[in-house]
Amino acid sequence: MSQTLRSQFYLLITSLILILSSCARPQATAGMIQVLIHVDDSVETVEVPSGASVQQALDSAGVILGSLDRVNPPGYTVLSDGAEIDIIRVLESFEIEEIIIPFDRQTVRNEALPEGETRLLQPGQNGLQEITVRILIEADVEISRAPVKNVIIIEPVPEIIMIGTQSTHSPISIDGSLVFITSGNLWVIESNSGSRRPLVVTGDLDGRILKISPDGQWVLFTRETPEEDDTINGLWVASMVDSEFEMIDLGVRNIIHFADWVPQKPSFTVTYSTSESSLASPGWQANNDLKTITFTGSGRALRPRTIIEANAGGQYGWWGTNYVWGYDSDHLAYVRADSYGLVDLEKNELITLQEIIPFQTLGDWAWVPGLVWGRDNQTIFFVAHDEPIGLESPQASPVFNIEARTMGSNLKLTLAERTGMFAYPTVSEILSSHTAEISYRVAFLQAITPLESQESTYRIAVMDRDGSNLRYLFPPSGDPGLEPSLPGPVWSPGGDRIAVIYRGDLWIIDVDTGTGQQLTADGQTQIMDWAP
């Protein structure tokens, strides 16, 4: 083939190739791929480099995602040519709903009303709650509705209805003021047992403390504090004579064993010992401290003053220390699981009079002896843990006696043997006497099975201050015994009667005859006090 023909042949082949290539389908640029994006009811085509991720494709298309929007496939997915991306818009909104909080209905049993009669003590009032609801909408369809915030605008007020439970017992005369807590409410009986009136009807008195002031104007008590975190209760004062006087919150919290008035008139100063709330049993850790707080006649609590700093409290110190006033502001004793003694109010220190063999309880509680001052402020009556009678250890000895100790000579006398661990002695007012000698009686609880006194029921016993004329008063022999509880037998101002809790009700016992009269019938009495 000639050179001319060969050149023409190559020119023809080249022309055919160009013609055929111009008729082929267009292709993406080398190294690029095409992706379809479905967003906001439209479809966008975007060209991205091969190996690009979903997020890179969205960035190239200028698609902006909201914080809640969803992408399918996920943003880290590597794309292939022709892949499709779906954008699902998610909208968020908030609504505020108002919800009515129904009030609770509470009942207060009142023995001043005939049985079956009711009275509205406090009308109920509904509360109001605002609930903020978060709503999620996906593709114009609501997919979620959930509350995210609750605010109580108005607290509900409970309806309190007083229900009469007046018993058929004949009324008896009552000297002084007899106060008692039942069903978390505080009542006072004056003149006769049929005349009683409420002092505090909040329903939250816990019964740990109840003390009438020496001048008879005030009453000291503890209330539960469920609205406060890490607190057990609070210490409060109410007027005994002015029903319009607002209760006084002393600002003191976590009182377990001790709070009482300083023995002086007029009465505006309280002593107390505190604890710390604990998740471990028994629910507190005692500080074993001693403080005083004074309030004004207008109801303002002043700053507390510390007498005894917080301390370990000896063996079983976690349980706590009790303190007992004499009959003036100079005599104060302490008692705990391993010792008892005096409080030096000038040096602010404890003076130990006697070490005690701690009782081994094998539980989450500690035995602290009952202790009380004699009326002369020179004698202390206490429950002594005696030596074992068998092969048991001294700590496990079941023997408990009532002893008396005189301050001057430190002489100790056993007045009543094998009384039981929960004897809780108390002394009467000074009795009239034909001699210059101070005369009074001592009441205590006697265990029916004294060598098993931890589980035993008890009965009331009375003796003269020297241990003579010991008699068992109540309940009568053969009747079920009473459950021991602080403060033990409570003497009347005249020293001729004793108040006690029996089967959950308040009873009055005549000291001379042993006759008992039931005063309440609701079975909810927790604690009482009796003062002139």
Q: Report the CATH number at residue 272.
A: 2.130.10.10
Measured CA to CA, the distance from residue 110 to residue 159 in angstroms comes to 16
pLDDT of residue 8 exceeding 70: no
Gap between the terminal Cα atoms of the chain: 148
Domain assignment present for 473: no
* Same domain? 221 vs 349: yes
For 502, the token pair is 């029996």
Cα radius of gyration rounded to whole Å, the chain: 41
* Same domain? 220 vs 321: yes
Q: What number of other Cβ atoms are within 10 A of residue 78's Cβ? A: 12
Torsion of CA 503, 509, 511, 513, to 10 degrees: -100
Domain assignment present for 174: no
CATH of the domain at 107: 2.20.230.10
**Least confident residue range of 1-5, 246-250, 462-466:** 1-5
**Least confident residue range of 48-52, 283-287, 316-320, 393-397:** 48-52
Q: What is the total count of domains within the chain?
A: 3
- How many helices and strands in the chain, by DSSP H and E? 2, 40
Report the largest interatomic distance among the alpha carbons of the chain, rounded to a whole angstrom: 168
CATH of the domain at 69: 3.10.20.90
Under the banding of pLDDT at 50, 70 and 90, the label for residue 461 is very high
Contacts of 364 (CB under 8 A, 6+ apart): 281, 282
pLDDT of residue 12 exceeding 70: no
**Least confident residue range of 123-132, 172-181, 405-414, 522-531:** 405-414
Give me the chain's average pLDDT, please. Answer: 90
Q: Would you give the DSSP letter of residue 63?
A: P
**Least confident residue range of 9-13, 303-307, 435-439, 462-466:** 9-13
Domain assignment present for 256: yes
* Same domain? 228 vs 148: no
Domain assignment present for 231: yes
Answer for the pair 344, 307: CB distance below 8 angstroms, yes or no: no
Arithmetic mean of pLDDT, 421-442: 90
- pLDDT tens for 55-83 read 998 888 888 888 888 899 998 999 888 89
Arithmetic mean of pLDDT, 277-301: 95
pLDDT at 346: 95
Angle at 368 between CA 363 and CA 372, to 5 degrees: 160
Domain assignment present for 135: yes
- DSSP for 149-188 reads EEEEEE--B-EEEEEEEE--PPP-EEEEEEEEEETTEEEE
Domain assignment present for 230: yes
Arithmetic mean of pLDDT, 190-202: 89
- pLDDT tens for 15-35 read 555 444 444 444 445 588 998
* Same domain? 84 vs 96: no
Domain ranges, residue 329:
204-354
* Same domain? 120 vs 222: no
Arithmetic mean of pLDDT, 362-377: 96
Under the banding of pLDDT at 50, 70 and 90, the label for residue 521 is confident
* Same domain? 261 vs 335: yes
pLDDT at 392: 93
- pLDDT tens for 403-423 read 999 987 778 999 999 999 999
Contacts of 352 (CB under 8 A, 6+ apart): 339, 340, 341
Share of the chain above pLDDT 90, in %: 68
pLDDT at 61: 86
Residue after which a domain boundary falls, among 354, 377, 396: 354
* Same domain? 247 vs 322: yes
* Same domain? 142 vs 220: no
Answer for the pair 133, 97: CB distance below 8 angstroms, yes or no: yes
Q: What are phi and psi of 450, to 5 degrees?
A: -65, -25
Question: 521 or 214: whose pLDDT is higher?
Answer: 214
Arithmetic mean of pLDDT, 222-247: 93
* Same domain? 291 vs 221: yes
Residue after which a domain boundary falls, among 112, 138, 154: 154
Domain assignment present for 270: yes
* Same domain? 220 vs 349: yes
Under the banding of pLDDT at 50, 70 and 90, the label for residue 171 is confident
* Same domain? 313 vs 214: yes
Domain assignment present for 482: no
H or E element: which one contains 9? Answer: helix 3-22
* Same domain? 112 vs 149: yes
For 50, the token pair is 């091969």
Residue after which a domain boundary falls, among 354, 384, 417: 354
